[in-house]
Structure 1
Amino acid sequence: MLLLVDAGNTRIKWALVDAAGRDGLGCWRTFGSISHAETGTLAQAWRGMEIARALLSNVAGAALRGSLEAALAAAGLQPTQIGWFASVPQLGGVRNGYRNPAQLGCDRFASVIGAHALFPRQALIVATCGTATTVDALSPDGVFLGGMILPGLGLMAGALAKNTAQLPQVAETAAVAQAFADNTDDAIVAGCIAAQAGAIERAVAAHALQHPAVQCVLAGGAAAYIAPQLHVAHKTVDNLVLIGLQVAALGAADTSC
């Protein structure tokens, strides 16, 4: 079995797939999602799963990497069985157009690889809505053109509440039903979601100047709150980083589960 791990800024997601590449993209034999505080439970979860190798994406720093290495070792994996995903000039059908390819966040690179595999030969805007929101552009032939980074929905609402006198702290999970709110809590949420949706729509419009048919792909924990406010066609994909890791490790597979 192949273990895939997406260690993000807030949560750690992992999945097991067939190491021979016989599973479709996003078709997991086993899946888990935990907070950073629960990292100590991973060794027990992975022990006895007959893992042949592991590929991990980590954007949460050296301390978490050390904890993941300890969990893998406790589960019986040797260092030679462990790979750490990194951004390179070309991989998984995607050519990295960043000025310094290694500087591109490995989670962003994995996400565009996954999106390109799911939507081949299409111009893409890939918006990952997590702790930060990243909005990236991909050409139909798989060239990563670059992107934008802005505070995620929770960070945006939290910063506004923290730094503005007498404004309440607003949870990112609050719903918004209309553009113009009649109370302060909803006004903060409406403004933050409008900013997120506006950035994504602007990216789609800019990309469409060169590629008339642009597919917008949404991912990340806050995607469910932003998607209803988008005025462009879009598709939401769960666990896009893990799908990109699957492609990078095994190549594109049949997308049906």
Structure 2
Amino acid sequence: MANLVIDIGNTFTKVAVFENDDLLTINQTKQLTAESIDNLLYEHVITKVITSSVKKEKQSWQIELEKKHPVIYFNSLIPAGVNNYYKTPDTLGTDRFAAVIGAHYLYPQQNNIIISGGTCITYDYIDSNANYLGGSISPGLNMRFNALNHYTDALPLIIADAAFTAIYGNDTTSAIISGVQNGIKYELKGFIESYTKAAEQYNIILSGGDGIFFDTLLKNSIFAPYIKNEPHLVLKGLNAAIQQHND
């Protein structure tokens, strides 16, 4: 008896199978096919299916899946034990809200700040009483490097360097790395301080493709003891939502 959980992002689609809270299998692909879904349905006794998507149009495999199994389409109106105070829930990204649900499910009755690093960096806060108060969105790591190259004539395209620890750069390349990576580090610290100012105890939950990189940026800070890495937080949130769904 298992749940099939599918998270459709801007670049990748993640497919996972859970048995209760246990993650049995996970796969990430740029192009999901009906055949790969059929293989999972054959290999596991799937009782529930939930999908979350940042895209408006259905994929061909989704249409085929609907013919074989009831599908729950996750949205920000699914409560899953969270009090959602976002003023425009219809515009709240499903990945953000799933991550909030995941944080609350994994660390209940605790103050949680969720930081997800992907195309964008998102910051979200849910308090110990399960109140989701909102969050912040800023450009992601690679977006910043790309923007400096795209919107200027002279600046080269640089990639992130996790080993870079200097405060300033002494040439153009290192100056860009310093500006982007130190800028994100100061941004992380600033948001964490603001979000947790009134909380004596809290968790900093890092997720997304750049979550481990952010951990590196914060590893020598006062926040290091509060960090929890949850690379599959969105999938776990979707699984928590489907387990609490009554339909």
Given the two structures, how large is their TM-score scaled by the length of structure 2?
Answer: 0.87
Residues 39-188 of structure 1 mapped to structure 2, 5 A cutoff: 39-40=32-33, 42-43=36-37, 45-49=39-43, 50-62=45-57, 65-70=58-63, 72=65, 77-78=68-69, 81-88=70-77, 91-172=79-160, 175-188=163-176
Q: Distance in 2 between matches of 1:219 and 1:183?
A: 32
Counting only pairs closer than 5 Å after superposition, residues 168-247 of structure 1 correspond to structure 2 as 168-172=156-160, 175-230=163-218, 231=221, 232-233=223-224, 234-247=227-240
String of CA shifts for 1:196-221, please: whole Å, max 9, x gaps: 22222212211222212231111000
Deviation sequence 1:55-92 (CA, Å, 0-9, x none) = 01101331xx323414525xx624xx11110001x622
Assess if the C-alpha contact under 8 Å between 1:161 and 1:169 holds in 2: yes
TM-score (norm 1): 0.84
5+ long unaligned stretches in structure 2? none
Distance 1:94 1:181, change over 3 A: same
Instruction: Tell me the amino acid that sits aligned with residue 5 of structure 2.
Output: L
- Gapped regions of structure 1 (runs ≥ 5): 252-257
Q: How many residue pairs were aligned?
A: 236
Give 3-state SS (helix, strand or coil) of 2:203's partner.
Answer: strand
**1:32 aligned partner:** 27
Letter in 2 for 1:93: G
Summarize the Cα distance change of 1:122–1:11 in structure 2 as closer, same or farther, 3 Å threshold: same
> C-alpha distance in 1, partners of 2:38/2:175?
45
CA distance in 2, matches of 1:157, 1:11: 20
Greater displacement, 181-190 / 100-109: 181-190
CA distance in 1, matches of 2:176, 2:60: 37
Q: Which residue of 2 aligns with 1:3?
A: 4
Q: Distance in 2 between matches of 1:42 and 1:184?
A: 46
Contact conserved, 1:207 with 1:214, CA < 8 A, in 2?
Answer: no
- Quote how far apart the aligned CAs of 1:141 are: 0.7
Percent identity at matched positions? 29
Distance 1:47 1:137, change over 3 A: closer
Q: CA deviation at 1:47?
A: 4.9
**CA, structure 1 residues 177+165, in 2 after alignment: closer, same or farther (shift >3 Å)?**
same
Determine helix, strand or coil for the equivalent of 2:231. Answer: coil
Question: Secondary structure at 1:176's aligned position in 2?
Answer: coil
In 1, distance between residues paired with 2:184 and 2:68? 41
